[in-house]
Amino acid sequence: MSTTQTLLMLGDSLVEWGDWEELLPTIQVINRGVAGEYVEELSARLTAEIETAPDPDHILIMAGTNNLLMGNRFFPAIFRSMLPRLSSLCPNVGITLNSIMPMSLPGLSAQIAETNMELRDVADQSDCLFLNMVPPYTEQCLPITRPCFLPDGVHLSTLGYQVWADEIRRHLKSLLA
């Protein structure tokens, strides 16, 4: 008898706007994305989200896009305190920090790469996992014929969500193996 995995997803509009029931039909997704949210706002609501979410098997956090877009490159420091707090709130739950997506905005690629290195370090230091979405998007998306982003360069297209969902599924499956 197999049980359905429960995934709590925390983050911004990229989480909120995903049709996770369609994208991850074999996983019960608790969608706690808030469009326009900054990492510090997620940190402020973290305890309330954990208290109201049915016991998840895993937590995935995708946040920081709005901070980066507004020029705040120091948000990984918030994760340094937030991830250990989340681990203490959910001691038996795996936590994955998602990379910043490789948005197709001019002048941001170097900042995204640097920020993702910082986020990977924060995840490692917090005994959390890190899901790097840059390689899958680089391999599976093409700006004109296979775009993973909408024309705003930030939000995900249908293909973008499919690529992300496939990676989440693969990531969770590897944890069960």
Full DSSP string of 7-58: EEEEESHHHHT--HHHHSTTEEEEEEE-TT--HHHHHHHHHHHHHHS---SE
Give the model confidence (pLDDT) of 31-41 as tens digits.
Answer: 999 999 999 99
Residue 2 predicted with pLDDT over 80: no
Residues in the chain: 177
- Distance (Å, rounded) from C-alpha 86 to C-alpha 47? 8
Q: What percent of the chain has pLDDT over 90?
A: 86
Whole-angstrom distance, CA of residue 91 vs CA of residue 101: 28
For residues 84 and 126, the answer to whether their CB atoms sit within 8 Å is yes
CA 6 from centroid of its chain's CA atoms: 15
Are residues 158 and 149 in contact, defined by beta-carbon separation less than 8 angstroms?
no
Q: Which tokens sit at 134?
A: 């840059």
Spatial distance between the Cα atoms of 168 and 81, rounded to a whole number of angstroms: 24
Least confident of 2-11, 30-39, 67-76, 167-176: 2-11
Closest among 48, 122, 40 to 32, alpha carbons compared: 48
CATH code of the region 5-176: 3.40.50.1110
Which DSSP letter does residue 144 get?
A: T
The whole-number pLDDT of residue 55 equals 87
Query: Measured on CA atoms in the order 51, 53, 54, 57, is the torsion positive or negative?
Result: negative
CA within 13 Å, CB half, 15: 30
Contact 126, 80 (CB under 8 A): yes
Residue 154 pLDDT? 94
Q: Is the pLDDT of residue 91 over 80?
A: yes
